[in-house]
Amino acid sequence: MTLRNKLVDVALRWQESFGVAPSITNAISEYDAALLVGMTESEYSDYMQDKTAVNKGSDFVFNHQRYQVKANRPSGKPGSKVTKVAKATNYLWDKLIWILYDKEFIMQEAWEWDVNDYILEFDGKNRISPDDYRKGKCLYRKE
């Protein structure tokens, strides 16, 4: 079992016991996004060693591209369907990846945006939905 899967397993057991999963979506999605764009687990680990949990702008850099990652995961409880997604609060990145998980942290889809296209599409919008992010480049979609 991979370290990612162990973390997900613990979070889901926590949710089962205490009602709400611990906040692991950011860590999981940054890892998954790095692998989606071709980074190896070893390269990601090496890159992250001197980083903190809060980095302004990008979440990781690969092949001279700065990546910002956003993700959503519904809990599976009533009312947890994802209808609103996070908007980037700055443009100190080259590419944004949005990932949608299911309640088990299994990736359902992933979409990529170049910063200039993102600004044109979303800068003036207050509310962004999954359908908005789906207008980007599809990196993954579970069939």
pLDDT surpasses 90 at 127? yes
Write out the DSSP string of 9-31. HHHHHHHHHHSS--S-HHHHHHH
CB atoms within 10 A of CB 123: 10
pLDDT band at 80 (very low <50, low <70, confident <90, very high): confident
- The pLDDT value recorded for residue 131 is 97
Q: Which tokens sit at 5?
A: 């899967």
C-alpha–C-alpha distance, residues 116 and 53, integer Å: 26
Mean pLDDT value of segment 98-118: 97
Instruction: Give the three-state DSSP class for 138.
Output: strand
3-state secondary structure of 102: coil
pLDDT digits (tens, 9 = 90+) for 12-66: 999 999 999 999 999 999 999 999 999 999 999 999 999 987 778 899 999 999 9
pLDDT attached to residue 110: 98
Q: Is the pLDDT of residue 118 over 90?
A: yes
Question: Is the predicted pLDDT of residue 138 greater than 80, yes or no?
Answer: yes
Cα separation, 53 vs 43, in Å, equals 18
